[in-house]
Amino acid sequence: MSITRRVFLKNGALAIVGTSIVPSFLTRAVYAAETAAPGKKRLIVLFQRGAADGLNIVVPHGEQAYYAMRPSISIPRPRNGQESAIDLDGFFGLHPAMTAFKPLWDQKHLAIVHAAGSPDTTRSHFDAQDYMESGTPGLRSTDDGWLNRALQADPEVGASPFRAVAMGGALPRTLAGSVPAVAMDNIRAFTVGGRGPKPSLASNTFEAMYEQSVDSVLHGTGNETFEAVKMLRSADPEKYTPAAGADYPRGRFGDSLRQVAQLIKANLGVEVAFADISGWDHHVNEGSVQGQIANLTREFSQSIAALWTDLGDLAESTVIVTMSEFGRTMRENGNAGTDHGHGNVMWLMGGRVQGGKIYGDWPGLGE
C-alpha cells in the first residue's frame, strides 16, 4: 500500500516537472513529497502544559490506595452502565471521557508509559517545562530544545523549511535551536500582503529586504519565512478537507492537529511537528468523571484520534508522543484538586508502536 502511494507521488512529481517550468521551491516540495511519503519517519510531539494529572487519566483502578487518597476526585472502578474508568488490563483504565482512545488501544497502535517523567525534582512549572523541552533536566544553560538537537544530529542539506513545524504564535523551546523551524498559528494567515496566487509587491519587497539584511537573526528568519510562504502557496492550503471520520473537536488543540495533518498530507517535508494544549494545572475543583479534567481529556483524546484517522496510511510511518512537565500529588488537596507531584503518563502512538500495552514499572501508590 505504501509503495503504491510512493510510486504515485513520484509519477506525479515527474508529471509536473515534465509539463511546465517549475520553480525551484516547487521542485523541492516535490522531492519533499518523497520524504513525507511512507518510509520516511515523522514524529509529532504533543505537550500537555500545566502538569496533567496522569492518575486520573490512566487510572490505577486496581489500587485501593488510589481511592483512599482521592475521596472526591477519583474515577470509579470500571462498571457497566456507569460513568467509570474504561478498563484496559484489569488494573489500569482510561478516564471515561477518553473513549476516542479505546479503538486505538484495541488495535494496538496506542501504548502507555506510566509513572514516567523527568528525574529532576523541581516543582516549578517553568523549570520543569524548560527541562522537559531542553531535554536536559537540571541544566538550565542548555540553549536549544531536544527535538531541534535530534534534527541537528541528522543534518539535511536543502531541507524543506517545513522540516520542523510548531503550531502556535511562538516557537516552543522544544524546537529552538540551529535547525530552522517554522511556528505558525494559522496556515491561512501564513502570507504577506494578501492571499492571491502571486506574491504581492510588499511580499517581494520584504523578501529582498530580509534577504539582504545584515541583521543575522532577522536575515535567517526572513529567508526561512519566505521560502515557507512560497511552498505553502503552491500546496494550496485553502482546499483542505480532513479524511472521512476525522472529527476534530472545536478548540485550539483540535485546530493545531488538523493543521499538522494538513501540512503533512500536503507533502511539504514535515519531519517533526509540535503542538501543545494547556490548562492542566488543576489545583482547585479538578473534577472526576465530569468537570475540568473530563473536558480536557476529552478534547485531548478526540483531537489526537482525529489526527490519527486523518493521517490514514501516513500514520504507519508516524509516531505521536505526548508529555507533560511533571505529574500531580497522589492525594487530593483541600480544594478538591491536586498539587504538583512527580511521575506522569506518556502516550505513544504509531503504526509500528507495539501498543495495547502499558510500559514502565508501576511503583504502586503505597507510602
- Contacting positions for other proteins (CB under 8 A): 71-72, 121, 123-127, 140, 161, 168-171, 176, 181-185, 189-193, 201-202, 205-206, 208-210, 212-215, 217-219, 221-222, 224-225, 228-229, 249-252, 254, 277-279, 283-284, 291-292, 295-296, 298-299, 302, 333-336, 339-340
Nearer to other proteins, 11 or 285 (CB): 285
Nearest-approach distance from CB 104 to other proteins, in angstroms? 19
Nearest-approach distance from CB 8 to other proteins, in angstroms? 30
Nearer to other proteins, 26 or 229 (CB): 229
Nearer to other proteins, 335 or 354 (CB): 335
Nearer to other proteins, 229 or 348 (CB): 229
Nearest-approach distance from CB 201 to other proteins, in angstroms? 5
Nearer to other proteins, 299 or 353 (CB): 299
Nearer to other proteins, 52 or 314 (CB): 52
Nearest-approach distance from CB 341 to other proteins, in angstroms? 12
How far is 357 from 294, CA to CA, in rounded Å? 23
Nearer to other proteins, 63 or 207 (CB): 207
Nearest-approach distance from CB 40 to other proteins, in angstroms? 23
How far is 120 from 137, CA to CA, in rounded Å? 6
Q: Are 234 and 268 within 8 A, CB to CB?
A: no
Nearest-approach distance from CB 123 to other proteins, in angstroms? 7
Nearer to other proteins, 279 or 312 (CB): 279
Nearest-approach distance from CB 180 to other proteins, in angstroms? 9
Nearest-approach distance from CB 162 to other proteins, in angstroms? 10
3-state SS string for the chain: CHHHHHHHHHHHHHHHHHHCCCCHHHHHHHHHHHHHCCCCCEEEEEEEECCCCHHHCEECCCCHHHHHHCCCCCCCCCCCCCCCCEECCCCCEECHHHHHHHHHHHCCCEEEEEEECCCCCCCCHHHHHHHHHHCCCCCCCCCCCHHHHHHHCCCCCCCCCCCEEEECCCCCHHHCCCCCCEEECCHHHCCCCCCCCCCCHHHHHHHHHHHHCCCHHHHHHHHHHHHHHHHHHHHCHHHCCCCCCCCCCCCHHHHHHHHHHHHHHCCCCCCEEEEEEECCCCCCCCCCCCCHHHHHHHHHHHHHHHHHHHHHHHHHHEEEEEEECCEECCCCCCCCCCCEECCEEEEEEECCCCCCEEECCCCCCCC
The dihedral built from the CA positions of residue 75, 108, 319 and 266, taken in this order, carries a sign that is negative
Nearest-approach distance from CB 3 to other proteins, in angstroms? 34
Q: Are 338 and 286 within 8 A, CB to CB?
A: yes
Nearer to other proteins, 13 or 182 (CB): 182
Q: What is the largest CA-CA distance in the chain?
A: 71
Nearest-approach distance from CB 279 to other proteins, in angstroms? 4
Q: Which three cell numbers stand for residue 263?
A: 501540512
Nearer to other proteins, 90 or 334 (CB): 334
